[in-house]
Structure 1
Amino acid sequence: MGKHKGKCSKKNPANKESLEPEHLVKAPHSFVIHRGNCSKDLLELTKDFRKIMEPFTASQLKERKKNTIKDFLSVSGYLHVSHMITFTETEHGMYMRLARIPRGPTLTFRIHNYSLARDVISSLRKQYVIMKAFQNAPLIVLNSFSGEGMHMKLMATMFQNMFPTINITNVKLKNIRRCVLMNYNTSTKLIDFRHYVIRATPVGLNKGTKKMVQGRIPNLNRCKDISEFFDKAALLSESELEDDTNTQVILPQNLASRGATVDSKSAIKLFELGPRITFQLIKIEDGLMDGEVLFHELVEKTEEEKAIIKKKREEKRRLKEKRKAQQDENVKRKQREKEELKQKALEGIKKKKEITENQRLMALAAAESANTDKMDQDDDDDAEYYRNEVGAEPDKYLFSENPSRKRKAGDNSVRGFKKMRLDQKFKTKFQKNQNLQDVQDIKRYNIQDDKKTFKRRENELKKGQKMFQNKVFGGKFMKNKMAKNRKGKSKGKKSRGRI
């Protein structure tokens, strides 16, 4: 039975690919990172290069010192990353590596000089920076990359594949807002890297009309009427770019710029965004960051040296595969041994439990048998002693362990009864009235005494009669009549009969 899924799991689809169209998934994505100890300027250059590669790059990527290239490769497949640009810095200079993921090749460039984007923008008289231009990928323009040599073709192909391809039949001109220009200098073998934003301005109009078309607010301070603003000769000078016919085009589609409509004549202007980079190709490797060197600008080797290097590389590769296979075998062997030890331990525990249980049962049985034998032996000894002394067989239950103490139903033996004892208080009262018979005789014979003596004796007689009326039954006294006579007297402990 599967786990219960919450609302978030139900809303999110299983695959990330279903969230993006096919043309976005197939577009080349990139990682722009730095490795090793880098200066602040190089870190800033890394961020500017990420800005160029937007929107198909991780602009907020956080890299740490402990991260390796394998860490980025492990997530590149899920994020559709196809290229990796790495900036490094050593004692000899700064380098940029352009690698194709996951199997290469890798191009290494040495950075000769560069200018950051903030420095380029601050140096311009007219600054034109719009954030909407970074919502679409730039247009790549290569110049003079048609030289001889396989390294030139490979370098040009790598630069072209860094950015999405353009389908001329379906392209929308309003989405092309930026361009990247790369110029190769055949004499110095240096590559100039520039980054521009594209803007189209209408031509064939005077300055006043152009301002109104572009939506800018005119300054009518020196004009008496709006017509004077359009007809004034001082404001009829055209832009210097409009004089060059090579920069003028007829637009087949509407552009994002004001006044750039279909079939209108406009001039294309470029505003530099930066950064500026000048670099040189140094080395081309077959693999990803490590492999056979296909081209090197500074080092040349003979065919024999190349064969020796290739042989060493093959041996190194075979040794690596052998070591990897041995490691896999060791892991399986250790896992197998661990499982066997686990089974042995479980069997030993089970066996120990069985032995312990059997020993406990055997000891319990031995103790019970020994106790029974001892009891039988004691009973036999007592019975034998009774026979020898008395000369008759003992009763059946005489020497049993727990003889029954209950009286049998057919037993007619006479029961004895307990001696009844009076309480000490009533015993004293009875001692005082030992001569009650004399009192009765006095009353019977009408002895003539004085009034005080007669009355006293009569009271004693009444008192003695009341005492005899409180009869004793089984050691208990009838206290209801005595409680009436004791009203008004001092409180004391209640008398109880003792059996």
Structure 2
Amino acid sequence: MVKKKKGRSVRRNPNVNLEPEELTQAPHSFIIHRGFNNGHILELTRDFRKVMEPFTAKSLQEHKKNTIKDFVSVAGLLHVTHLCIFSQTEFGMYFKVGRLPRGPTLTFKIHEFSLAKDVVSSLKKQLVIERAFKHSPLIVLNSFSGDTPHMKLMASMFQNMFPKINLTNVDLNNIRRCVLMNYNPSSEIIDFRHYVIKITPVGVSKGVKKVVQGKVPNLSKCNDISEFFTKAGLLSESEMEEDPNNHITVNQKLATRGNVEQGQSAIRLTELGPRITLQLMKIEDGLLDGIVLYHNFIHKTEEEKLIIQKKRDAKKKLKERRKRLQEENKKRKETEKEESKQKSLKGMKKDASREQTKNKDGNEDTNQDDDDATYYREEIGEEPDKDLFMASEVNNKMSMKKSKVFNKFNKKHKLDVSSKDKKQNFKKDFKSNKFDKSSDDRRKFSRNKDKNKSHLRTHKPLKSKSSIYYAVVH
């Protein structure tokens, strides 16, 4: 006997698609573009999505019909915390960073930018590692130590865009990229750079590195393999003049060859791009619409701020009033709809009661004859004749039949009586020879009769090719 398979139990089998807490608590981002759809701004948004991987929507599809509310409504389900917008207007390009769902929003002006493909093509040694994009980059802020509130808010916004690092549990193999943001206090400009991190062993010649890393050395210029390991001319200028400040002691075992635990290694950065030069313009309290907390170029007095605040409050009250009126109208329409429904149900009940009364009246008419017969028996004491109380029934039946026939005739058999009478009279006159045979009327009638029958004359075509050939020959 074959055993039956047991069904899956929901309690015993937990949901496999549940994400771990590290992923749900990590900051996620939406990166979109607005304004003129220029080719540069599209490529810049794609490059910035590459920087923010893996906690971003890499293949996010956006359309002109999509509004900011659409992205905000979906953000909660996908654990999205930040919204980055690249916009372009007639005056220039801008970069906005907003905290979801209620702000604040920072607006930057883009002075200069270089795409990732241009940065990589300008390097002599291009190093692009796809495995480096499986983990989030390390954020490094330089000169963001101002005491002003806008500087603190800007630094905290950039730090919260990337996941936090626990120094006790961090794995150095996962830190493969770095984002550097340098602030210049004099010009108030921020330089954005994106690098890939490479750790190489120190105190080892170039030949030894190649052998350790598993590369096949080129021994065409050497007489012996010892020359390949001891020759100092094979080293490049950057390797000959290494900065001792770049040397570190690795406390973990790295996946790259040549780096030994508790050994000396050097950190090297290779730029991936893009390069962006930013300047802070303003800070808003809400998400793209709120009180301006800071503006770099426009400074307003307290009176102007109070006037703006009053306008905002009036606009907010008007919006609330319109919303309340809309809800009241909605409730009123629902009540009217319910009332009309109840009225229609009452009318249907009245029609049903009328039909029942009609049926009762018909039954009373049929039973009236029986009542008359019983009354006749009680008063006279004899049985009445059969035809005595049948006249009313016959009259009722005849009237019902007439009404039915008349209704059918009115609905279906509506004929033109005048044209029918004319045709019948004409046929009677013709049969009774009222027309004179030698008269013109007789001839006209015969001609018209032949013309009317002319459309019935048809020439039947020959069916096959053999019949056509027979007709032509004979």
Q: TM-score range by the shorter chain?
A: 0.7 to 0.9
Q: Which amino acid aligns with 1:167?
A: N
Q: Counterpart in 1 of 2:203?
A: 204
TM-score (norm 1): 0.71
Q: Counterpart in 2 of 1:440?
A: none
* Unpaired segments ≥5 residues, structure 1: 1-6, 381-393, 403-499
Q: Which amino acid aligns with 1:258?
A: R
The 1-side partners of 2:386 and 2:299 are apart by: 122
**Pairwise CA distance, 1:252:** 1.0
Q: Counterpart in 2 of 1:231?
A: 230
**Pairwise CA distance, 1:37:** 2.6
Q: Structure 1 residues 15 and 43, CA, compared in 2 at 3 Å: closer, same or farther?
A: farther
The 2-side partners of 1:8 and 1:279 are apart by: 56
* Unpaired segments ≥5 residues, structure 2: 1-6, 391-474
**Pairwise CA distance, 1:79:** 0.5
Q: Which amino acid aligns with 2:307?
A: I
Structure 1 residue 283 corresponds to structure 2 residue 282: yes
Secondary structure of 2:332's aligned partner: helix
Q: Counterpart in 1 of 2:174?
A: 175
Q: Counterpart in 2 of 1:421?
A: none
Secondary structure of 1:35's aligned partner: strand
Number of aligned residue pairs: give it.
382
Q: Structure 1 residues 173 and 373, CA, compared in 2 at 3 Å: closer, same or farther?
A: same
Structure 1 residue 61 corresponds to structure 2 residue 60: yes
**Pairwise CA distance, 1:376:** 10
The 2-side partners of 1:46 and 1:13 are apart by: 41
**Pairwise CA distance, 1:399:** 6.6
Q: Counterpart in 1 of 2:361?
A: 362
The 2-side partners of 1:131 and 1:8 are apart by: 39
Counting aligned pairs with the same residue, the percent is 59
The answer to whether the 8 A contact 1:250-1:264 is kept is: yes
Q: Structure 1 residues 130 and 313, CA, compared in 2 at 3 Å: closer, same or farther?
A: same
Q: Which amino acid aligns with 2:291?
A: E
The answer to whether the 8 A contact 1:206-1:238 is kept is: no
The 1-side partners of 2:227 and 2:211 are apart by: 14
Q: Counterpart in 2 of 1:83?
A: 82
Q: Which amino acid aligns with 2:266?
A: A
Structure 1 residue 245 corresponds to structure 2 residue 227: no
Q: Counterpart in 2 of 1:119?
A: 118
**Rg bigger for which structure?**
1
Structure 1 residue 346 corresponds to structure 2 residue 345: yes
Secondary structure of 1:34's aligned partner: strand
CA-atom RMSD in angstroms: 3.1
The 1-side partners of 2:293 and 2:281 are apart by: 11
* Cα deviations by residue, 1:89-122 (Å, 9 ceiling, x for unpaired): 1100111110000110000111111111111111
The 1-side partners of 2:13 and 2:33 are apart by: 34
Q: Which amino acid aligns with 1:57?
A: T
The 2-side partners of 1:8 and 1:70 are apart by: 40
The answer to whether the 8 A contact 1:203-1:242 is kept is: no
Q: Which amino acid aligns with 2:242?
A: D
The answer to whether the 8 A contact 2:369-2:389 is kept is: no
Q: Structure 1 residues 196 and 233, CA, compared in 2 at 3 Å: closer, same or farther?
A: closer
TM-score (norm 2): 0.74
The 1-side partners of 2:8 and 2:100 are apart by: 32
The 1-side partners of 2:215 and 2:86 are apart by: 43
**Pairwise CA distance, 1:320:** 1.5
Q: Counterpart in 1 of 2:254?
A: 255
Q: Which amino acid aligns with 1:188?
A: S
Q: Structure 1 residues 334 and 239, CA, compared in 2 at 3 Å: closer, same or farther?
A: same
Q: Which amino acid aligns with 1:194?
A: R
The 2-side partners of 1:152 and 1:144 are apart by: 10
The 1-side partners of 2:330 and 2:206 are apart by: 79
Secondary structure of 1:340's aligned partner: helix
Q: Counterpart in 2 of 1:145?
A: 144
The 2-side partners of 1:324 and 1:260 are apart by: 66
The 2-side partners of 1:206 and 1:116 are apart by: 35
